[in-house]
Amino acid sequence: MQLLWAHLIVIVVTMVVFMATVYLVTPRIRDRLVRQEQTGQPGNQRPGNGRPTPPPKLLPQRVYDAAVMQSTVIATVVASVVALVVSLVSARVIVRPLHSVISASRRVAAGDFRQIDVPNGAHEIRELALQFNHMAAALKDAEQRRAALIGDVAHELRTPLASIQGYAEGLMDGVVLPHDKTYTIIRTEAARLSRLVDDLQSLSRAESGSLVMHMAPHDLNAIVERVADLLQSQLKEKEITLTVTHQHDKEPVNCDNDRISQVIVNLLVNAIRAVNMHGNIQVTTMHQQQMVCCVVSDDGIGIDATHLPHLFERFYRVDPSRTRATGGAGVGLTIARAIVEAHSGSLVLQSDGLGRGARVTLALPRA
């Protein structure tokens, strides 16, 4: 609207200046041309007989046309200059609030994520300032999580590396005996390092959209059953009851078997962590129109509403104090969502609050 009004003002001012200039200049130019016409004619010269010749009849149309043409040229030049000045002034007034956004963008580029004051003025500029503040807050939050991740990764790398290094030096010095328990500890710590590296690599591929998919028709019921069998040891350790229900004999989906298995493993492992001893987890497969759904629900600790919008963000953990052994690095759900979206599906997490469990719905297109 400011741009529209600015254009209208420039047009109106230009027309007024043009008309005023023509109105004021035309009579003067006309009078000057009339004088030139009267004084410059041969009738003002005296012939040899000493009698002046009468001047020819004045051509008013020619004088009028010349006056209008010259005044129009002058009015056009004056109106153009005035229009340029008005345009520059109006443009400076419109873009003045953007200077704060430009300065703030330089601060953000330098690592200063302070927000800016929302200027008064056009709705679009206010919306730009609000979105800029939202972006600055998101960047600040992401930078804080990135810094926390670096510390977490360094700590989690240091712990298994210290164990491996300590046992290796003990074996070399003869302090630690070379028996199966020692080798098992070294292998376990090495596996922890490998899992961390795999998670970070998967996250990098997921965010860059370079995950390799091998699509083929598969039965989602069979995938769920296989994943449930793989996690029986973890279920027995906490004496958790897992109930798997299939509303139909087969639920065919076009998917990458290994990737979707990875997603369901992540959902069930998260549920196992959230459920207390003797808890319950329910897995239900069903189809809704053109989508096949796998719903994982539990009666665990639940999730506070303030955390729900951030659970699929990378490196976000509801409990930042969790170690990798008890909670991971906070990239599992981010990777899972990227895999599901690559299948043109959706992943939705819901919870009624703390102590009321959680429910995750995986939806994939039917084959």
Residues 358 and 232 in one domain: yes
Residues 231 and 203 in one domain: no
Residues 258 and 351 in one domain: yes
Rounded to a whole number of angstroms, the CA Rg of the chain reads 40
Q: Are 274 and 314 in contact (CB under 8 A)?
A: no
Residues 262 and 356 in one domain: yes
| Residue 7 placed within a domain | yes
Give the chain's mean pLDDT: 80
Report how far residue 75's alpha carbon sits from residue 219's, in angstroms, rounded to the nearest whole number: 81
| Residue 114 placed within a domain | no
The pLDDT tens digits of the residues spanning 307-329 come to 888 788 766 666 655 544 445 55
Residues 62 and 7 in one domain: yes
Return the percentage of the chain with pLDDT > 90, whole number: 21
Tell me, what's the pLDDT at 330? 67
| Res 18 pLDDT > 80 | yes
| Residue 100 placed within a domain | no
| Res 275 pLDDT > 70 | yes
Exposed, middle or buried, 312 (CB in 10 Å: 0-12/13-18/19+)?
Answer: middle
| Residue 51 placed within a domain | no
| Res 360 pLDDT > 90 | yes
Domain count, the chain: 3
Higher pLDDT, 60 or 292: 292
| Domain region containing 233 | 216-365
Residues 332 and 249 in one domain: yes
| Residue 103 placed within a domain | no
Residues 195 and 336 in one domain: no
Last residue of a domain, one of 208, 237, 271: 208
Last residue of a domain, one of 148, 179, 208: 208
Report how far residue 119's alpha carbon sits from residue 291's, in angstroms, rounded to the nearest whole number: 46
Residues 194 and 262 in one domain: no
Residues 186 and 267 in one domain: no
Tell me, what's the pLDDT at 325? 46
Higher pLDDT, 276 or 60: 276
Residues 199 and 240 in one domain: no
Tell me, what's the pLDDT at 107? 83
Q: What is the pTM of this model?
A: 0.56
Residues 134 and 159 in one domain: yes
CATH number at residue 327: 3.30.565.10
Residues 74 and 128 in one domain: no
Tell me, what's the pLDDT at 43? 44
| Residue 106 placed within a domain | no
Tell me, what's the pLDDT at 105? 83
| Residue 48 placed within a domain | no
CATH number at residue 140: 1.10.287.130
| Residue 359 placed within a domain | yes
Residues 6-11: what's their mean pLDDT? Answer: 79
Beta strands in the chain (DSSP E): 216-219, 241-246, 252-255, 280-288, 291-298, 346-350, 358-365
Strands 241-246 and 280-288, sheet pairing: parallel
